[in-house]
Amino acid sequence: MSALFDAIATGAHTALSPTNLIYCFGGVTLGTLIGILPGLGPIATISMLLPVTFYLPPETALITLAGIYYGAQYGGSTTAVLVNMPGESSSVVTCLDGYAMARQGKAGPALSIAAIASFFAGCVATLVIASFAPVLANFALEFGPAEYFALMLLGLVAAVVLASGSLVNAFAMIFLGLLFGTVGTDLNTGVERFTFGIPKLVDGVDFVTMSMGIFAISEIVVNLESVQERTILKEKIGRLLPSAEDFKRSIWPIVRGTGLGSMLGILPGGGAVLSSFASYAVEKRIAKEPGRFGKGAIEGVAGPEAANNAGAQTSFIPLLTLGIPSNPVMALMIGAMMIQGITPGPQIMTAKPDLFWGVIVSMWAGNLMLVILNLPMIGIWIQLLKVPYRLLYPTILLLCVIGVYSVNNATFDLVILSVFGVMGYVFVKIGCEPAPLLLGFILGPLLEEYFRRALIMSHGDLSVFVRNPISGTIIAMAAVLLLIVVLPSIRKKREEAFQE
Amino acid sequence: MLKRTAVVFGALLMLTASNAVAWSQTKYPEHPIKMIVPFPPGGGADVLARMVGQKLNERWGQPVVVENKPGNAGIIGANEVGRSKPDGYTLLMAASGAVVANNIDRLAPVALVTTPPYMLAVHESLPVKTVAEFVEYLKKNPKAVNFASSGVGSASHLAAELFMGLSKTQMTHVPYKGIGQGVNDLISNKVSVMFGPPQALLPQVAAGRIKILGVTSKERYPLFAEIPPVAESVPGFEAVGWYGILAAAGTPDDIVKQLSDATNAAIQDPTVKERMNALGATPRPGTPADFRAFLKQDTAKWAELLSKVEATK
């Protein structure tokens, strides 16, 4: 234990130096801003800033870039709550209940609870990294393709729970998401699927582009149709801070979300996005009145917000302890280290303790800055609702276009954005919810990848999925969950619950 | 008054004179240069582009703007440079995979930057110490050993195919999305073999999770002189990656020459050299003609191998 304190002291020495504190502050502020702006995500921002870090010492560079990443998780919820547009892919879930709360005049409490949940999760996750990073990294290594497949399957079944409307619609949207996920080059054979000979589709459809189109663009179009809703939002802003009742409802979802996020964040691929979806599904499943979800349940904001922030933070574990990136942002971090002449790998912790512990301690400092930065800002963000839509919407549209373009520097992505914008509008009109579609889109390709890889390794033996204790257990859980959802008697009860 | 007029007149004269020089031999570069990296930021090509770009900027005083245009294993970005105006203001920092038979004619090789070797790594539990022992082990256990690659047709896949073909052995191919994922499963022994870049593999050797059996260069590589080449046990085996700068076909020879000279100087700069070493590479200066010959040989070799692999499927 004293070794841990020594290590944290080493880290504090690095992280709390004036220069690093200033860069950390700069990082989290920039992160918050790009989180708020729809479309412009941490990937685009970090890649634009990568050349600048060339001129900074390695610790400072990583502290800044890390700050941008978890800062974006804080900011992403703001636009999700206020205008139903996810600023970040991991805040897609926050739209569901956060926006519903905002329409009831409870945008203030929704934003506050999101910031508080993120802060709590950030602190716990930092502690988790500091004390268990090496152990957890080895745990993640135990996960082979069969285990990942089982986990993704469970996630996909849970996606049905996400929908608050018709079950048939939810299934349809998941399958549509799976279909979109197949666009691109097949990993195992190199054959192109559904690319129609368009070179830009060879790498598949980009998640940012898709979610921007379906959420942001369609939201603008839908709102332009109805004049009434605009006035409702203008009048009611309500209180800023959550009530005692809100806190009581949120405590356990925050704790559970933090736990889920910390676990899922370590695993490559899923990370923050999956953990926020998972947290929402869990909260809805164990809630006494699941019918409140999707209609402004504060638990549906608190849990996922805690989960995505915890997940964002623990996704640093494989990077810092094994030198292996668990998501594209971490791959950029590796690039940042290599620019500095540092080879990421298991030796980082012992060879560069200043860097390792410095980054960890800076995460805690950064989280503190973020909550201080965000809570007083809520009053200002709420004023955004007063901005006339004729100014707000063109601005958002412009930002979406810039954000989407900046991912690949490709104009073709804007065409895709428009296509999904139209699609999102149609979905709203026919009463289909987009969240299950996005989850299907994220999980589908992973599901296929791990399924086929497990079979290659087992030489075609299907029993590998159930023989293995971890994957066997998860698949059993998925099967039980599926039964609960589709059994007719229970389904009837489920629909009754929504009637309330 | 007269004095002042004289000064102004003199200054005007000087301006005209310098203008005359500029007109007579259109100076290159006279505005910023764009260097397209056809891969996502943070990878080897990106890091090299930024290092070389900075040196070109110091030399010419014109900024070199690095732009990432990832997609289709680098082909999208390479094609874009192929379609650009052949004036030397749009360059490509390519790597193995981005330049293929389809676009090679639309590109003008400028300078090879480096040809880093790959390494043959196996999980530490595999009971072999040398490439010869490994070949023997594979012959006793045909198809039982899995190897990881960063995708179908990637350098890590083709190196393994070439190895199997020359050593007459068989392994099972497990493709991944990128080197990182493959290394992840290699260190946890989900797969036992991988041909990969040194900077991804060596840290895991230090941690005692994997061992390196050989380098893929024809001869010992100066940076890793203690590691024997695979070719010592499997004659004829050579599978190096490459990074190099290309421009659009039709770029004037004198501009290509200037770019080539500047690149050669940049990669031999001590700080650049040191950072390249950290990436597991040493500079490989040469003329545009050398690069053209290298590319021709390299693309032909892999195209032949690929068609063989596809024929056996």
Please tell me which of the candidates B46, B152, B172 has its beta carbon nearest to residue A456.
B172
Interface test with A, best of B75, B143, B154, B181 (most A CBs within 10 A): B181
- Using a 10 angstrom Cβ sphere, with 0-12 exposed, 13-18 middle and 19 or more buried, the burial of residue A159 is buried
Which of A25-34, A147-156, B139-148 is least confident? Answer: A147-156
Whether pLDDT at B197 is above 60 = yes
Mean pLDDT, rounded, for A355-364: 90
Confidence band, pLDDT 50/70/90 cuts, at residue B71: confident
Residue pLDDT, tens place only, A204-218: 888 778 888 887 788
Predicted pLDDT of residue B52: 93
Predicted pLDDT of residue B255: 95
Confidence band, pLDDT 50/70/90 cuts, at residue B87: very high
Predicted pLDDT of residue B248: 95
Predicted pLDDT of residue A496: 54
Alpha-carbon gap: A50 to the closest alpha carbon of chain B (Å) = 8
Give CA A103 to chain center in angstroms.
23
Flag if A199 and B76 touch (Cβ within 8 Å): yes
CA neighbor of A118 nearest in space, from A162, A75, A180, A63: A75
Residue pLDDT, tens place only, A323-338: 777 777 887 888 788 7
d(CA A171, CA A439): 11
Mean pLDDT, rounded, for A43-59: 79
Which tops the pLDDT comparison, A268 or B188? Answer: B188
Whether pLDDT at A497 is above 70 = no
Please tell me which of the candidates B44, B190, B274 has its beta carbon nearest to residue A144.
B190
Predicted pLDDT of residue B72: 79
**CB of A148 closer than 8 Å to CB of A266:** no
Predicted pLDDT of residue B21: 42
Please tell me which of the candidates A189, A268, A335 has its beta carbon nearest to residue B46.
A335
Mean pLDDT, rounded, for B44-69: 90
Residue pLDDT, tens place only, A218-268: 888 887 876 555 544 544 566 778 888 888 999 999 999 999 898 888 876
Mean pLDDT, rounded, for A369-383: 84
Predicted pLDDT of residue B130: 96
Whether pLDDT at B1 is above 70 = no
Q: What angle do CA A213, A301, A110 make, to 5 degrees?
A: 95
Confidence band, pLDDT 50/70/90 cuts, at residue B24: very low
Please tell me which of the candidates A202, A338, A449 has its beta carbon nearest to residue B47.
A338
Alpha-carbon gap: B293 to the closest alpha carbon of chain A (Å) = 28
Predicted pLDDT of residue A238: 65
Please tell me which of the candidates B69, B72, B187 has its beta carbon nearest to residue A202.
B72
Alpha-carbon gap: A141 to the closest alpha carbon of chain B (Å) = 6
Residues 330-349 of A with CB under 8 A from B: 331-336, 338-339, 341-347
Whether pLDDT at B15 is above 80 = no
Predicted pLDDT of residue A491: 53
Predicted pLDDT of residue A488: 56
Which of A71-85, A335-349, A478-492, B27-41 is least confident? Answer: A478-492
Predicted pLDDT of residue A163: 63
Which of A162-166, A213-217, B302-306 is least confident? Answer: A162-166
Sign of the Cα pseudo-torsion (A186, A190, B204, A20, in order): negative
Please tell me which of the candidates B176, B187, B279 has its beta carbon nearest to residue A338.
B279
**CB of A214 closer than 8 Å to CB of A437:** yes
Which tops the pLDDT comparison, B29 or A442? Answer: B29
Flag if B175 and A187 touch (Cβ within 8 Å): yes
Mean pLDDT, rounded, for B277-288: 90
CA closest to B274 among chain A residues: A341
Token duo for residue B221: 């590589």
Flag if B75 and A199 touch (Cβ within 8 Å): yes
Whether pLDDT at B277 is above 60 = yes
Alpha-carbon gap: A14 to the closest alpha carbon of chain B (Å) = 24
Mean pLDDT, rounded, for B123-136: 96
Please indicate if any CB of chain B lies within 8 Å of the CB of A453. yes
CA closest to B201 among chain A residues: A345
Please tell me which of the candidates B75, B184, B203 has its beta carbon nearest to residue A346.
B203
Predicted pLDDT of residue B22: 42
Residue pLDDT, tens place only, A399-438: 888 878 877 778 898 999 999 999 999 998 988 888 788 8
Mean pLDDT, rounded, for A339-359: 80
Please indicate if any CB of chain B lies within 8 Å of the CB of A52. no
The CA-atom distances, in angstroms, between A346 and each of A356, B126, B187, B201 are 11, 21, 11, 11
Which tops the pLDDT comparison, B9 or A43? Answer: A43
Please indicate if any CB of chain B lies within 8 Å of the CB of A190. yes
Predicted pLDDT of residue A227: 59
Mean pLDDT, rounded, for B215-224: 93
Predicted pLDDT of residue A272: 63
Interface test with B, best of A53, A198, A322 (most B CBs within 10 A): A322
Alpha-carbon gap: B18 to the closest alpha carbon of chain A (Å) = 35
Sign of the Cα pseudo-torsion (A203, A204, A210, A213, in order): positive
Mean pLDDT (chain B, rounded): 87
Confidence band, pLDDT 50/70/90 cuts, at residue B304: confident
Whether pLDDT at A380 is above 70 = yes
Predicted pLDDT of residue B168: 94
Q: What angle do CA A343, A347, A349 make, to 5 degrees?
A: 110
Flag if B68 and A409 touch (Cβ within 8 Å): yes
Confidence band, pLDDT 50/70/90 cuts, at residue B303: confident
Flag if B274 and A328 touch (Cβ within 8 Å): no
Asked whether the bond before B29 is cis by omega within 30 degrees of 0, the reply is: yes
Mean pLDDT, rounded, for B276-283: 87
Cβ neighbours, 10 Å, residue A168: 10
d(CA B305, CA B300): 9
Whether pLDDT at A18 is above 50 = yes
Confidence band, pLDDT 50/70/90 cuts, at residue B4: low
**Which residues of B fall within a CB distance of 8 Å from A346?**
203-204, 206-207, 209
Confidence band, pLDDT 50/70/90 cuts, at residue B82: very high
Identity (one letter) of the amino acid at B33? I
Which tops the pLDDT comparison, A195 or A422? Answer: A422
How many contacts does A have with B, using Cβ atoms within 8 A? 130
Mean pLDDT, rounded, for A383-402: 80
Mean pLDDT, rounded, for B101-124: 93
Predicted pLDDT of residue B17: 45
Whether pLDDT at B309 is above 90 = no
The CA-atom distances, in angstroms, between B63 and each of B55, B91, B127 are 10, 13, 53
Predicted pLDDT of residue B163: 96
**Which residues of A fall within a CB distance of 8 Å from B178?**
331
**Which residues of A fall within a CB distance of 8 Å from B203?**
323, 343-347
Flag if A47 and B68 touch (Cβ within 8 Å): yes
Confidence band, pLDDT 50/70/90 cuts, at residue B40: confident
Q: How many helices and strands (H and E) does chain B possess? A: 10, 10
Whether pLDDT at B312 is above 70 = no
Which of A60-69, A211-220, A332-341, B212-221 is least confident? Answer: A332-341
Q: What angle do CA A172, A440, A139 make, to 5 degrees?
A: 150
d(CA A204, CA A209): 11
Whether pLDDT at B63 is above 80 = yes
Please indicate if any CB of chain B lies within 8 Å of the CB of A165. no
Mean pLDDT, rounded, for A165-180: 86
Three-class secondary structure of residue A439 per DSSP: helix
Mean pLDDT (chain A, rounded): 82
